[in-house]
A and B are shown apart, each in its own frame.
Chain A
Amino acid sequence: MSLSPASGIGRFYKHSAKIIRFVRLGCANRPFYHIVVMERRKNQHQPVIEQVGSYDPMPNESNERLVALNTERIRFWLGKGAHMSEPAAELLGISGLLPVHPRTYMTAWRNRRAAAEAEAAETETSKVDTA
């Protein structure tokens, strides 16, 4: 599989459905994503119309997950009627460009609940230990 350039050589029809989505680059156990605009029906590893950002989902040494967005072009493509994949929509919501996606809230409350349950289990076991 050859890599397609991020500069965007993808051909597209004027009225075809475009989508802003991730392209998974990197390698095994090391994901890295380009945020791209491409025709919706195409495979993610086809040439893209335009790259509008990048996303590194693995925390770096200062515990940051780095995202770069070309907001000007994202605004342009959204104005042109481009769709968004759900992860891309979540990321744009968190970045503050769009309203926050409901799935972000859902993940947050599920995480909170899991943390609370884990803490409860912890206190339970400590009680048992002391008793």
Chain B
Amino acid sequence: MLRAGCQLLNQAAAVKTGSNNFALEFVRWRRKPRWLPVAKSKMFRVPERKKQTEEERTELMRLHNNYKTQLRSVRQYLREEVVRQQETSTADHIVLTPEQEEAEFQRCLDENAAWNAKIASERNVRLAEEREAKVAYVQERLEAAKLRSEERREKVDERIRYEIEQAKTFITRESLEVAIETALANPVDHNYAIDLEGNMYRGR
């Protein structure tokens, strides 16, 4: 038992160190560690310099100079705009007097009440409709149940009538003697044969 446990442990260790085929292999972040030296195939590789003609360089210089000048002026404009915005904006500080604030609050409250009233009327209409539908549904189900029970009663009555009809020929305790007498007087012999035409052939 102990030995088996040890074997299991060893197997687990093998999986972790990747010495068998079930080792994990990352495909997403696969990279040579930083501490490894340059690969032999890349040892004497000289990276190619990007070629840039004199003409292109001067053109880019001109464009960059223009761009920087233009961007500087745009930045200047935006800086002034931000300052202007901060001076004129009322976003961060309170400018309303208490009365104004109260009026604003009252206005909001009224609007909210109006919305609530509107929604309440809509809801009442909807609820009434739903209630009506429910009542109709229940009524219908009740009718159906009544019909069903009536049918069942009918069936049961039928059965009872049939049983009563049958009961007339039953042998009761009083009529037992008579029945025995009758049976003894009229013995029935069932030992006979019938051919295909239905003719009876009595033996004995």
Give the B-binding residues of A (Cβ under 8 A): 28, 75-76, 78-81, 98-102, 105-106
Contacts and interface: CB of A to CB of B under 8 A. Distances in A.
B74 interface: yes
Contact of A99 (B74, B78, B83): B74
Given A28-B28, A99-B70, A78 B63 contact: no
Given A105-B63, A106-B60, A98 B82 contact: no
B105 interface: no
Contacts, number: 40
Given A78-B78, A79-B78, A80-B82, A98 B71 contact: yes
Contact of B67 (A76, A81, A99): A99
A72 to B, nearest CB: 10
A100 to B, nearest CB: 8
B141 interface: no
A102 B82 contact: no
Interface size class of B (residues with CB under 8 A): 10 to 19
A28 B27 CA distance: 12
A102 B75 contact: no
B64 interface: yes
Contacts of B70: 98-99
Contact of A78 (B60, B75, B83): B75
Contacts of B82: 75-76, 79-80
B81 interface: yes
B79 A102 contact: no
Contacts of A79: 75, 78-83
Chain A CB within 10 Å, residue with most, of B63, B75, B81: B63
A28 B28 CA distance: 9
A78 B72 CA distance: 11
A114 B71 CA distance: 30
A71 to B, nearest CB: 11
A45 to B, nearest CB: 15
A91 B79 CA distance: 21
A100 B154 CA distance: 95
A106 B81 CA distance: 32
B78 A102 contact: no
Chain A CB within 10 Å, residue with most, of B67, B75, B82, B85: B67
A98 B60 contact: no
A81 B81 contact: no
